[in-house]
Amino acid sequence: MTERPAPTPQPPVRAEKLTKLYGTTRALLDFDGEFAPGAVTVVEGPNGSGKSTLLALLAQTARPTSGLIHYGAALHSATALRSAVGMVAHDAMLYPDLTGLENLALYAQLYAVAAPSARIDELRARFDVGRFAERPVRTYSRGQQQRVSLCRALLHAPAILLLDEPTTGLDADSVERLVDAVAVERARGVIQILVTHDSGFAKRVADRRIVLRAGRRVEQDELATVPERRPLGAAR
Ligand code: ADP
Ligand code: MG
**Ligand that lies nearest to the alpha carbon of residue 21, given by its number in the listed order:** 1
* Closest CA to ligand 1's atom 27: 22
Q: Give the length of the chain.
A: 236
pLDDT at 102: 98
pLDDT at 81: 87
Contact 193, 12 (CB under 8 A): no
- Give average pLDDT by consecutive 10-residue segment, the chain, 236 residues: 66 96 97 97 97 97 96 82 93 95 97 96 98 98 97 97 97 98 97 96 96 90 48 46
Cα 50 to ligand 1 centre (Å)? 6
Cα 119 to ligand 2 centre (Å)? 29
Atom of ligand 1 nearest to the CA of 53: 6
pLDDT at 232: 53
* Closest CA to ligand 1's atom 8: 48
Cα 136 to ligand 2 centre (Å)? 26
φ and ψ of 152, to 5 deg:
-60, -45
Give 23's DSSP letter.
T
Rounded distance between C-alpha atoms, residue 211 and residue 131, angstroms: 39
Element (H, E) at 10: none
pLDDT at 235: 42
Say if ligand 1 is within 6 A of residue 25 CB: yes
pLDDT at 73: 76
Rg (CA), the chain: 17
